[in-house]
Amino acid sequence: MKHLPVFVLFLVLVTSCQSDYTPKPRGYFRIDLPGHEYRQFDTTFPYSFEYPIYAYIFLDTSSLAEPYWINISYPAFKAQLHLSYKEIHDNLDQYLEDSRTLVNKHIPKANAITQQQFLNDQSRVYGLTFSIKGTEAASPYQFYLTDSLSRFIRGALYFNIVPNNDSLAPVIDFLRQDIDHMISTFRWNN
């Protein structure tokens, strides 16, 4: 009678371990991506473009903000695209160098930085996009556009969360498509 509880416990342990234990792989939350639909941003600003219907635009109110600086917010993804506009007064080289410097600040956290040229002679929109690869890069996508004479705009995508671009990769690719669409529909207003 004394050994009955020990025997029952032993029997339970032996019969419960019939198969090998396999740990479950680490999982991430499912991200539901909406369809790409766009609306026009066409105001009294010196530029216009199409942006997604699931995003909203607001003026940049930071202390460094200048006229026509805006942010495009993607609340479902906790992301913002910051757009800063400048007029060119014989200082295009400085704006181009500033853009490269801001991209190069990501080098310590980046695995690779690739750039792609954008040319639209008909609308006089020229620029470069920078895709920044790396799990801890703060901004995975940046660009600048200019008419080469009087106007310049720079954009940078940031997430309002700690960067883990491996798990954010589907969202980054999704937003990159939206930004590329914005660039392709970008026009300078008179």
Q: pLDDT tens across 147-172, in order?
A: 999 999 999 999 988 767 677 888 89
Tokens 């792989």 belong to 25
Q: Domain for residue 52, yes or no?
A: yes
Strand partners, 108: none
Task: Kindly compute the dihedral angle of the four CA atoms of residues 147, 148, 150, 154, in this order, to the nearest 10 degrees.
Answer: 70
Kindly state the tokens that stand for 128: 């470069």
> How far apart (Å, rounded) are the C-alpha atoms in residues 3 and 26?
42
Task: Give domain status of residue 130, yes or no.
Answer: yes
Q: Indicate the DSSP class of residue 107.
A: G
Report pTM: 0.81
Percent of the chain with pLDDT over 70: 93
Residue 47 has pLDDT above 80, yes or no: yes
Q: What is the mean pLDDT of residues 113-138?
A: 92
- What's the confidence (pLDDT) of residue 123? 93
Q: 3-state class of 59 per DSSP?
A: strand
pLDDT at 108: 84
Asked whether residue 62 is domain-assigned, the answer is: yes
pLDDT of residue 144: 97
Does 46 score more than 70 pLDDT? yes
Whether 28 has a pLDDT exceeding 80, the answer reads: no
Q: Which residue has the higher pLDDT, 31 or 117?
A: 117
Check residue 76 and report its DSSP letter.
G
Residue 63 inside a domain? The answer is yes
pLDDT score, position 152: 97
Contact 99, 156 (CB under 8 A): no
Residue 20, pLDDT score: 67
Residue 105 resides in a domain: yes
Specify the number of domains making up the chain.
1
Q: Which of 82, 92, 77, 69 is closest to 146 using CA atoms?
A: 92
Q: Is the pLDDT of residue 145 over 70?
A: yes
5 part of a folded domain? no
| Residue 13, domain member (yes or no) | no
pLDDT in tens, 59-68: 999 999 999 9
Taking 80 as the threshold, does the pLDDT of residue 1 lie above it?
no
Q: Quick one: how far is CA 180 from the chain centroid?
A: 11
What is the rounded average pLDDT of the residues 88-110?
91
Provide the token pair at 64: 């460094």
**Rounded alpha-carbon distances, angstroms, from residue 29 to 63, 65, 94, 168:** 36, 35, 43, 10
- Amino acid at the residue 92: L
Q: CATH number for the domain including 95?
A: 3.40.1000
Residue numbers of the domain that contains 81: 37-188
| DSSP notation for 136-175 | T-S-SEEEEEE-SSSEEEEEEEEESS---TTTTHHHHHHH
Confidence class for position 27, pLDDT limits 50, 70, 90: low
Residue 179 within a domain:
yes
pLDDT of residue 17: 61
